[in-house]
Amino acid sequence: MTLIACDIGSTRIKYGLVRRGCVQDHGTIPSASEEPLARRLPELARTLRALCAKTGTALGDCAGISVSLPTLVDAASGRLLSEFGRFRDMPTLDLRAWAKAEFGLPLALENDARMAAIGEWRHGAGRGCDSLVMLTLGTGLGTGVVIEGRVLRGKHGQAGCLGGHLTLRYDGRACDCGNIGCAEAEASTRCLAALARQRADFAASPLANEPVLDFAAVFRHAAAGDPCAGALRDHSLLVWASLAVSLIHAYDPEVLVLGGGVMGSAGVILPAVREHIRRHVHTPWGEVRIVPSALGDTAALVAGEWLLQEQFPHLKS
């Protein structure tokens, strides 16, 4: 199967031409997620046409378009159910109608972290296993779950993809989702600046002079001995590791895959999460494998074939 895949994130829209589970050519354009997504669709359409032209692919040779987004998706209707402050027009958009009118192609939609989980399960770090949890550490925290060979969606499409909104501290920080003390509100790129600014030692920390305050900077200054960065690092690792234990207790996977942009610092994160899980998880059957994403940014793109075949079973593979 040949298809066009788009992974619409908070900062970048990744796109690619996918053929038989491999990304043939890919690129990114800015998301501008503070604006309505409808305003980005004309440029996205031009970009996808240019991708086809560049790879010598006729639209008629494409089985369809897969799109993943940072929102809850009702797979049956194709409705986007929430927006968390990004692309505020999402609940009003009909992307299926857009793809039909613009390209004459069917379009399949799914939550972005669930798509990354599907990609890692079929083609990446979870290949060969049938029970997997994916946790993406990025702007927010996303999760996706496969249990005994079935993608977990639940009655209203929410199951498995709201792992970043499990309560990790019942008297903690308010989250954009409405809950209190969500993992995403306690430690994510989205809340990092606020976490840093509430520390008394932040003003004197080299972090205060960083042009971009991200976890790469935090881990770098922590390793160099800055106490503020060290405290932010230890706090965030504890939150992510505690969330990992909750996800294992909730979904009983064989494999936990860690991905997302923050995993650029996998050398810091993986050993800490593994050690916390080893000490604190309750899995009398044995040990969950904790592994980094094998597909990185392309996980949600390569999942497109599985999603199109699931949602449009008549499409030929």
Binding site for its own copies (CB under 8 A): 72, 74, 81-82, 91, 130-131, 147-148, 152-160, 162-163, 165-171, 177-181, 186, 238-239, 242-243, 245-246, 249-254, 279-286
Q: Are 217 and 202 in contact (CB under 8 A)?
A: no
238 vs 315, which CB is nearer to its own copies? Answer: 238
**Distance in angstroms (rounded) separating the CA atoms of residues 206 and 121:** 40
Please state the length of the chain.
317
Nearer to its own copies, 94 or 130 (CB): 130
The widest CA-to-CA distance across the chain, in whole angstroms, is 62
Report strand pairing: 22-30 vs 12-19.
antiparallel
Determine contact, residues 138/262, Cβ cutoff 8 Å: yes
Closest CA to 90 of 75, 115, 113, 73: 73
Q: Tell the smallest beta-carbon distance from residue 255 to its own copies (Å).
A: 10
Can you tell me whether residue 298 is helix, strand or coil? helix
To the nearest whole angstrom, how small is the minimum distance from the Cβ of residue 49 to its own copies? 33
CA–CA gap between residue 90 and residue 84 (Å, rounded)? 10
CB of 63 to its own copies, least distance (A): 27
The distance of closest approach from Cβ of residue 21 to its own copies in the complex, given in angstroms and rounded to an integer, is 24
- Tell me the closest approach of the beta carbon of residue 170 to its own copies, in angstroms: 4
**Closer to its own copies by Cβ: residue 282 or 316:** 282
Tokens of 149: 């060979």
Six token digits for residue 144: 């996706």
Residue 169 Cβ vs its own copies, minimum distance, rounded to whole Å: 5
Classified as helix, coil or strand, 148 is: coil
Q: Do 63 and 3 form a contact (C-beta atoms < 8 A)?
A: yes
> Which CB sits closer to its own copies, 38 or 250?
250
Run of H or E including 82: none
The least distance separating its own copies from the CB of residue 71, rounded to whole angstroms, comes to 9
Residue 112 CB burial class (10 angstroms; 0-12, 13-18, ≥19) = buried
Cβ closest to its own copies, residue 2 vs residue 179: 179
Residues 6+ apart with CB under 8 A from 88: 36
Helix, strand or coil for residue 192? helix
Tokens matching residue 228:
């503020």
Are 266 and 81 spatial neighbours (Cβ–Cβ below 8 Å)? no
CB of 283 to its own copies, least distance (A): 7
**162 or 308: CB nearest its own copies:** 162
* Identity of the residue, 143 or 298, whose beta carbon is nearer to its own copies in the bound complex: 143
Q: Which is nearer to its own copies, 22 or 76 (CB)?
A: 76
